[in-house]
Structure 1
Amino acid sequence: MRMIKKDVIAVKTVSQEASRQVRAFNRFYSKVMGALNQSVLDSPFSIAEARVLFEIKHLDSPTASEINRELGLDPGYLSRIIRRFEQDGLLTKERSPQDGRAFLLKLSEQGSKILTSLEKKADKRAAELLSSLPERDQPLLLRSMGSIRSLLSGVAPEVTVRPARPGELGIVAARHMDYYGERYGFDLSFEVYLHEGMTRFLKHREGGLGQAWVADREGEVVGSIAIDHAEEHVAQLRWLLVEPGFRRTGLGRRLMEEALAFCRANLYRRIFLWTFSELEEARRLYELFGFSPTEEVSHQIWGKDLTEERWDILLFDPDED
């Protein structure tokens, strides 16, 4: 008798209450999605058909197998959808040059128009949902959606490094205060120092002499850096922070590269920064980019006994040919 092996999936013990919360959220989310999907339900297409149209466009001439990897539909059901779309003139098929058994799918002009109409209606529904919330709560909702997606898919969302927007320096200051307060015991005088420095920086940035950048993960600030004008041809690098969960991902290097590129473009000859001896990871990063320690001061500051260090880099020497 032939024995059939069954795959065994190890399931970690989860409390009954946690399971109930997941199921309750699923019911709630299904209700929300029902309202968002009404734009599709008001059309001649099912939700699955609308998703197939979307994937054909955004996967750029996919095969049926590639669509199925994204959507997980029954292969026979997907074949019927594709056949119907072809009969209705919504898509065209072309034999794949890499695999003669497969066909590349592409929306026709009519199919593209229909998808555009569906997407506009869906965008309108989503905007209506967001506008029902206070503006200050919308980023929290979007970040939470991103967290759910990344945790359940196991795929980390992309992090973008971009110039800081109005109001985001307040977030940078708060994260610095939280991090250094919790980890190193800095007192409230550190918060005063941050806000005084940022007030001066904003005046310099307004004159085009400085810039701040944040690392943005779907609306959440997970890192920061700034270049502030110190004196003619000299800039100060400030407020470098990468959230602990994003370290050793290359994000610190990306922030440093952005800051140094700004300095070169604005003809700064020298850059300096202040750090302290306990920040070993940051010191290694500064050394990697060519900074070296030039000054050391041991004193009591921000409620702690610290050894502050100044690090400098000479970008170019005006006396050299």
Structure 2
Amino acid sequence: MHNSTSALPVEAIRDASRRLVRELGFMKPTLAGTRLPASAVHALIEIGDHGIHSASALCEVLQLEKSSVSRMVRKLIEAGEAMETSSQQDAREKQLALTVKGKQTLAAINQFARIQVCRALENIPSSTHGTVKEGLGLYAEALATVRKNVSLPVSTVFNDLSIQCGYCPGVLGRTIEMHAHYYSRNAGFGHFFEAKVASGMADFMGRLDAPRNQIWYAIKDGKIVATIAIDGEDLGSNIAHLRWFIVDDGLRGSGMGRRLLKEAVSFCDEQQFSEIQLWTFNGLDAARRLYEDAGFALIEELTGRQWGEEVIEQKFSRPRPITLSSSYSAE
């Protein structure tokens, strides 16, 4: 962290941020050509496009208080844009979904936004489009990191944390626990998903002694707080399967995920796998940025229910580099 901000373009970035807010229409009472406020527009996008199906998950994604989200959801339901249904896993838990009207509104919002972005990009050289995309993404992620770790200096994030690999007591249960809690809150997954993670990991742990299988985990204050695994056997054809990548809430955005991913990718290159594959689903934007930074590309997308709930499933792949270096960096 710099001791002085004099060398940083702080005022220019502040000015550009204010202009973005104004030009995108966030100063107006409604947004994106609708009669809805900005928070409601974002809620429709998260529910319809990103698979956020619970009010608690909306609170986290939109960074709003529970009472504010409850009022907003109630208004969307009253307007016929959204509806609540009982969870298949727990009848006491309400799941959010868009109505036919809500889906039509979302389609109009997306069309409005795409036209807005396309018209803006037409006014700058095409060679700079990638720079705009990367810059906005990096800045948004950096702001999120500050929000989540506002009192935690970067230099101290990993002082009492270590990365280890191989079996250790509790790694199976802790990995399942972190997955169950995170995906219940953020995707509405229930007991089917938790059981699937548990059965898959139980099978994998029985094969962990094989030289091309490995699991890494970060330990902080004696507790496992992040995991990632490479299954070198289940896909065959010399393809590595990246599985069970999860970072606990307290370390999300700290860079720990990037470190673990680096360990896993380096292992695959050392083992000379021809390719690494992983499955995820649409809406996990922070994870997707990590994958793409590490050389993964989206190669398949389809609607499926392999985790128990219907989501847009995504398959990513990273071919082994033609020329391998002794160290891999995802920075």
Q: TM-score, normalised by structure 2?
A: 0.47
Give the TM-score, by structure 1 length: 0.48
- Flag the structure with larger Rg: 1
Where relative contact order (Cα < 8 A, 6+ residues apart) is larger, the structure is 2
